[in-house]
Copies of this chain bind each other. A is one copy, B any other.
């Protein structure tokens, strides 16, 4: 039986229209060398209309890509709203990638117009020759003539524009098209995969709409909030903040390039920030700044954290010292990105062990995000908080595939397809789910050791080994084993002058993990190799083992 209801498409323009009308007086505050630069949602709405007119004038008449190479500021927010609303596709380029990755991503997305912050114009000019689709560059803010010249240098660049000059000349309202299919792409984001080329996700109007309303309903922030958006707008869909802010009307503070602890603390104090969003490193730096300085951050009630797991100690420190609630979330570019949020149930007494355990978890899967755990034998695991499997998710803001522009190799296409399992996204994360949908991750799937049809957590072993007083660092990787398929190899860095042997360390593990999980292979090394972001580089360790470069001692 058909319903009688309207099937109005869920479009970014609905969020834009609502936010810039109903919440016209909410503020967007961009940090500068001279402190706060202020504008309102209403003015952002006007600017968005002008940007849309300007882009139409530059030939963006359909679903062409428009790129940004920008910090978090009012103009980047304007692009986030205007570009999808006019029917084009926003591609926020990650300014932190290695140049070769940046070029890959830029070419693959194929933006025809790119908006660049003046403070990033010079580095962007050095990439531009390798981005043949770019016909127009719009620079936000003044730049020296030589930078402007450099931007105009490549033959494929037709013109370099000044943001204010270009927009000031345009009409202040725009007739946002209503005939967009809600499943059409609104924006793109690339994973920053550690191996191979980054992979692209093309979000839809529908997925962004549902994600932003869903997150807003769960987090409960309102027009009375002022949110400090430290998570870059070029990273993982900006955690959906540009859109959920339109729904809630919360004022936004955009730090631009002032991401150091001191200016962030100043923003919280002077703008009376009530909440924020950023990675653990940012909040860790802030904590040290607050401890060392004398800031009044009493306005702040919550900081959302994601990107990597925040240690319980960080969460407790903010609570104990500043009465700030750190809310951990989990997600990935492929999940828009928010998949779960750690809000303990009201029945759990704050401050109890249970409470802190849930606060430090990856959180509860949001309404709309379905999850399942696939165990070592390929079967679905129960949600009992114990059984471990790779998390697979599905739902209206989860990606179904990666974006292909036809240039990928067969290997890349196979790799991309391999991330999906019968309509579910393989997250590559391994852990357990409680009966009430709280997620506790333990490992990356590629780091789990598959031994005799069971899994051994490398992270668990590492933590137990590192609890030995002689150990400075330890990294455990799976290595091939004829009988068991894989067995753990423990690589250990001892503290200076320490003398523990592999046998001692194995003894130390007994009773802490199941007997069959105890490593037989040990290597004492000088230093654990690290990735550019400081994580253990297990790829390198596995290769050194395979190449026979490690001095392995066997102990049983």
Q: Mark A residues whose CB is within 8 Å of B.
A: 1-8, 10, 14-15, 17-19, 21-25, 63, 89, 183-186, 200-207, 210, 213-214, 216-217, 220, 222-224, 246-249, 336, 343, 345-347, 364-365, 367-368, 370, 383, 394-403, 423, 435-437
Chain B residue nearest to A244 (CB atoms) is B217
A429 to chain B, nearest CB (A): 18
Chain B residues lying within 8 Å of A423, measured Cβ to Cβ, are 6
Tell me whether A184 and B247 are in contact in the complex, defined as CB-CB below 8 angstroms, given that A21-B436, A224-B346, A367-B15 are known contacts.
no
A118 to chain B, nearest CB (A): 30
Chain B residues lying within 8 Å of A346, measured Cβ to Cβ, are 222-224
Query: A4 touching B436 by the CB < 8 A rule?
Result: no
Determine which of B19, B207, B213, B364 lies in contact with A213 in the assembled complex, contact meaning CB atoms within 8 Å.
B213
Query: A400 touching B6 by the CB < 8 A rule?
Result: yes
Tell me whether A201 and B2 are in contact in the complex, defined as CB-CB below 8 angstroms, given that A18-B368, A247-B217 are known contacts.
no
Chain B residue nearest to A63 (CB atoms) is B1
Query: A203 touching B5 by the CB < 8 A rule?
Result: yes
Chain B residues lying within 8 Å of A222, measured Cβ to Cβ, are 220, 343, 346
Chain B residues lying within 8 Å of A2, measured Cβ to Cβ, are 183-185, 202
**25 contacts across the A-B interface (CB closer than 8 A):** A1-B185, A1-B202, A2-B202, A3-B186, A3-B202, A3-B207, A4-B201, A4-B202, A5-B183, A5-B202, A5-B206, A5-B399, A6-B207, A6-B423, A7-B183, A7-B206, A7-B396, A7-B400, A8-B368, A25-B345, A25-B347, A210-B213, A217-B217, A246-B367, A249-B345
Query: B223 touching A437 by the CB < 8 A rule?
Result: no
Query: B5 touching A204 by the CB < 8 A rule?
Result: yes
CA distance A3 to B9 in the complex (A): 15
Tell me whether A345 and B223 are in contact in the complex, defined as CB-CB below 8 angstroms, given that A18-B368, A217-B217, A367-B22 are known contacts.
yes
CA distance A401 to B2 in the complex (A): 11
Query: B365 touching A22 by the CB < 8 A rule?
Result: yes
Query: B396 touching A6 by the CB < 8 A rule?
Result: yes
Chain B residues lying within 8 Å of A249, measured Cβ to Cβ, are 345
Chain B residues lying within 8 Å of A364, measured Cβ to Cβ, are 22
CA distance A17 to B214 in the complex (A): 16
A330 to chain B, nearest CB (A): 15
Determine which of B206, B345, B368, B403 lies in contact with A4 in the assembled complex, contact meaning CB atoms within 8 Å.
B403
CA distance A110 to B336 in the complex (A): 43
Tell me whether A25 and B394 are in contact in the complex, defined as CB-CB below 8 angstroms, given that A6-B423, A15-B367, A400-B4 are known contacts.
no
